Structure 1
């Protein structure tokens, strides 16, 4: 849903009719009940706002979802999948939470993973470069339980070994390779006009699912022939090929209305 909203709504100050969303998701193989449930849950989590126009219900972005989507946009289009600009620094984050705080611990670990951290030791996590996580720690209400440091490795430190111990590189490489296997044929295959929008939705979603698990580790410390670069090339090529037809399809399928200022 976030991939769809990022492609079709972000930055346009519009809301999209629920029936349009159901139509597009149906073309991508998602049932109506699942789509409606997702829309409802996202409203409850302040990721979508409702706007009624006559008998139709439209959905638009909130400040929270715009922030999430801008972050994803930065991650996909500007940061990229390969880190060639690493300055040799690391961000260390230590936390100690009460045993009963299972939900808070889960939320913190999920946010740290998205931000590129891996578990160095138990409650000590590490990420390459300078990563500002103060805002997410504050949002989770954990400022009193978290300590953040900047660091450099000792000259005798085997960074490559540390990376292999901290992050599941084999699983990440497999995800990149599977992505290329699924999508490489669309670099040269022309999709039917009525399937381009759903294909681009699936493409964006799958790519985001891969890169959000990638901490963008320094490429010089990764195995030879690391598959991220090829996967990113495939994503960008296929996305560019699908976009013209997807836009034409979106103009025909999507019922959009301007956002009304809520009073």
Structure 2
């Protein structure tokens, strides 16, 4: 099979995807040679892979280890929990924040701790919060437990107070939502995802059928490699969306919202070819 979609994703993003899939558990390290082979099949050269690994090590994402004098890398301690929390959003069959009601996050961070203020804003964005005004952010109430746990882990909870409630002012809540979230830009990104992968379900169903177990059982090494080359960039492109999408009720979203179609497409292709891609990756890791 030829003509793989070519979304714009960087070395580092792909490497994080690979470690999240195949090396998140303690003691699970990936040799540099395997990373080079994996990304080589995706069209990336060895110097670029080595450079990206070094950058991720400097950022505290990866940690180098030695085994039989072979250079290997594993995730830094504590990041496995971040990946597990992310799984709930990335692979969820429905939006995570469909409950009624809202929470307001009211925060104030001293100027002397400006970097912590930036981290706090980033975390709120990653949980789908919208911006109302300086120090005031809003999200569906269903994210409360997860965001609170995350802020406690980062020792940021001391700067934030949460309030729950309903919108009771006159006027359209849909218009307010359009002010608090940049849904137009997000919808454009969902549209770009569908431009790359909108026909993926038909494509792969025609190729392997609709039974993932049977497809894996009857697969060849060549097919597993093709699935890997397709799946890893697709997942890398998709996994950013659950950290941007507030998963609002449909009546609050713009007409023609593409998020639901994008999610349905990703999950269907994931079900079909993730086992094939995993089998290819595990073969490389076993042979290393």
TM-score by length of 2: 0.77
Q: Is the 8 A contact 2:30 2:74 kept in 1?
A: yes
Q: 2:5 is matched with which residue?
A: none
- The 1:183/1:213 distance shift into structure 2, 3 A limit, reads same
Does the CA-based 8 Å contact 2:89-2:96 persist in structure 1?
no
- For 1:52 and 1:255, the matched residues in 2 are separated by 17
When the two structures are superposed, what TM-score results if normalisation uses the length of structure 1?
0.84
* 8 A contact 1:21–1:254 mirrored in 2: no
SS at match of 1:50: strand
Partner of 1:253: 284
Q: CA deviation at 1:157?
A: 5.2
Q: How does 1:171-250 map to 2 (within 5 A)?
A: 171-190=185-204, 193=223, 194-250=225-281
Change (3 A) 1:241 1:137: closer
SS in structure 1 at match of 2:78: helix
User: Which whole-Å CA distance do the structure 2 matches of 1:256 and 1:227 have between them?
Assistant: 41
Query: Does residue 86 in structure 1 map to residue 86 in structure 2?
Result: no
Q: Which residue in 1 is equivalent to 2:23? A: 9
2:174 pairs, out of 149, 156, 160, with 160
> What does residue 107 of structure 1 align with?
119
Query: Which structure exhibits the higher relative contact order, with contacts defined as CA atoms closer than 8 Å and separated by 6 or more residues?
Result: 1
Structure 1 residues 31 and 106: alpha-carbon distance in aligned structure 2, compared to 1, 3 A threshold: farther
Root-mean-square deviation (Å): 2.6
Q: How far off its partner does 1:125 sit?
A: 0.5
Q: How far, CA to CA, are the matches of 2:285 and 2:83 in structure 1? A: 20
What is the number of equivalent residue pairs in this alignment?
A: 255
Q: Give the unaligned 5+ runs of structure 2.
A: 1-14, 208-221
